[in-house]
Chains A and B, each alone.
Chain A
Amino acid sequence: MKHLLRFLLYLLAAVFFLPTLATLLLSFFPEGELSLSGYDDLFFDCFSFYTMFWNSVIYAYAITALQLVVILPAAFAFSFARFKHKETLFFFYIILMMMPLQVMILPNYIGLRDMGILNTRAGIILPMIFSPFGVVVLRQYMKNIDASVIEATRLETNSMVRLLLHAVAPQVQVCLYAVGIFVFAESWNMLEQPMLLLQDKNLKTLTIFFNNSTSYGDQILYPASVVFMIPILLLYLFFHRELERGLTLHDS
């Protein structure tokens, strides 16, 4: 019985792994036989790919780094500050976190237009930095933090920045990694924002490249897919333990 269940589990895992694996394999078989010509075509004939690739890199790095800078103090405030209606405000963050992107895309568009940063890199990066997801996750994680370390650090320094960097950040490191990876993947995968908020072709991301896929052949698209998933695969390879332990969204 146990062996059968174990076998079924392996089988299911194989099915779930298939799309990723098949994409990897098919990229090396552009015309039915093993060759690198797909990669050759992609790297030497498809110059829009480079622009879009670097755009994706810039957005993902900028959003991840800046978001971490914003959420650490915010989560700290939710854990340690005392003020009226704190829990109500936090609940509001949770509701906002649950909103589908499409609900916020018109508000986003209008806000960015009025600020004059529509169709710029800042217009993509800024709203993503303030996404409430990281604040919620990090605050849940901070419930297990050792407050005595913070008290001890307070005796040594008056600076909030130092306190956050030396007493808080090391204790929530795992969660920061997890959120960082999650946010990086989200920004790497974003489709709606570059599609609807950008007109300038030179600012668009790789997701748009795949969206216009009819203009390219399969022999280019499979290698492009592989190149597109490599950064994510590497991140997962290095940080999978943090990802699995750091994402406490809910206290059970």
Chain B
Amino acid sequence: MKQNVSKKERLSWNQKCILCLVPSLLGLLLFYIFPYLRVLYYSLINNQFDKDFAGLKNYIDAIQNEYFRLAFKNSIQLIITCIPVLIVLAILVSLGLTFLLKRFKMVRVAFILPMLIPTASVVLFFQKVFSGIENELPLYLMFLWKNIGICIILLTAALTTIEEDIYEAARLDGAGGMMLHFQITLPLILPTISFSTLMAIVNSFRIFRESYLYYGGNYPPNYGYTLQYYMNNNFLKFDYQALASSSVLTSFLVAAIVAVFFLIERRYQR
């Protein structure tokens, strides 16, 4: 009997805990999940009026669309070019901030501040400095400027958890200088490096804000046309089918990237 009561109590505590999740879950369902399912439905019908099932036609149209391809190519090119540079730079700066600068810690402000500074308030400066340059370089630099902060926060946090003893032991074994970091530091922070890479890839899909403000309009030059422009312009044209199918395609792509990342990570943790 007594056991029964305590079991009942424990159950109600657990139920209370679950209830804590309800507001968040309800909001998520109402503002994200249900609307997303409607978009999924829109991507499968021919138009708003007949609502005939169209199969994968909208998806095929999207993939064959010249602008979708251009946007996709530019987005991938941004990832391939910028992410390695960003990650290597962030690792070097984090190592420097942790091991070289014991006194002037405030230097890190310069790297972390950009992630909070509104893009809108520095875009004018970038426009002035790069006014003559007609390629994607200014956009790439803005991406680096904006995204290095979060990587450095994550990396330096990981670096400070490494115990000094490990280095002592390694020095006794004869390791030193840069080799020390290659052989000991990098393997230890590898999980954080890979997570930073994931965050950077995901954030590269958000470069739209920078490029929109930089090029100042709905029709940027070809090299600046990323996936989000494609979606944005279809939004303004109220072309729901094109937008819905490209939204769904992009969401699948991002979900796949994240899932692959966590699968790889789980395998290596074992």
Contact = CB atoms under 8 A, between A and B. Distances in A.
Interface in B4-31: 13-14, 16-21, 23-25, 27-28, 30-31
Contacts of A221: 124
B28 A96 contact: yes
A226 B195 contact: no
Given A100-B250, A213-B124, A232 B112 contact: no
Contact of B100 (A2, A104, A111, A132): A2
Given A82-B14, A207-B118, A110 B39 contact: yes
**Interface class of chain A by DSSP:** helix
Interface residues of A, number: 90
A149 interface: no
A14 B106 CA distance: 12
Decide if the interface of chain B is mainly helix, strand, loop or mixed.
Answer: helix
Contacts of A83: 14, 18
Contact of A250 (B154, B240, B244, B255): B154
A189 B35 contact: no
B212 interface: yes
A172 B77 CA distance: 40
Interface of B: 13-14, 16-21, 23-25, 27-28, 30-32, 34-36, 38-39, 93, 96-97, 100-101, 107-126, 145, 148, 150, 153-154, 156-158, 161, 189, 191-192, 195, 198-199, 202, 205-206, 208-209, 212-213, 216, 227-228, 231-232, 235-236, 240, 243-244, 247, 250-251, 254-255, 257-259, 262
Interface of A: 2, 5-6, 9-10, 12-14, 16-17, 19-20, 22-23, 26, 70-71, 73-74, 76-78, 80-83, 91, 93-96, 98-111, 126-127, 129-130, 132, 135, 154, 160, 164, 181-182, 185, 188-189, 191-192, 196, 206-207, 209-211, 213-214, 218, 221-222, 224-226, 228-229, 232-233, 235-236, 240, 243-245, 247-250, 252
